[in-house]
Amino acid sequence: MRASTTLGVAGRIYNIGCGRSASLLELIAALNQILGTELVPMFAPPRAGDVRFSSADISRARAELGYEPRVGFVEGLEQTIAAWEDSNAASQ
């Protein structure tokens, strides 16, 4: 929303995230905690085109929009799962 009201940023692309990277293992551990599951990852050899590391660089959003994350990684997952559960329940 802030990009739509900030002068001089029309057409710019911004990454938005919680401000830190999370590994796939950290994601699985957080999902297990939130959902009460015991998901176990299965590893296979890398494939051509696999991305080994990825992170949203939010520095442009910080500098140009004054963006600062308000929700951490786990809290964001909790909110996303709750919204999905609400949406799924409403559609049934």
Q: Give, in degrees to the nearest 5, the angle at Cα 29 between 49 and 20.
A: 65
Q: Give, in degrees to the nearest 5, the angle at Cα 83 between 19 and 21.
A: 20
Which domains does the chain show, CATH number per domain?
Answer: 13-40+54-90 (3.90.25.10)
Q: Give the model confidence (pLDDT) of 13-55 as tens digits.
A: 999 999 999 999 999 999 999 999 999 999 999 999 999 888 8
State the number of CA atoms in the 13 A half-sphere of 89 facing the CB.
Answer: 6
71 DSSP 8-state letter: S
**pTM of the entire structure?**
0.78
Cβ neighbours for 53, distance < 8 A, ≥ 6 positions apart:
21
Q: Give, in degrees to the nearest 5, the angle at Cα 57 between 56 and 59.
A: 145
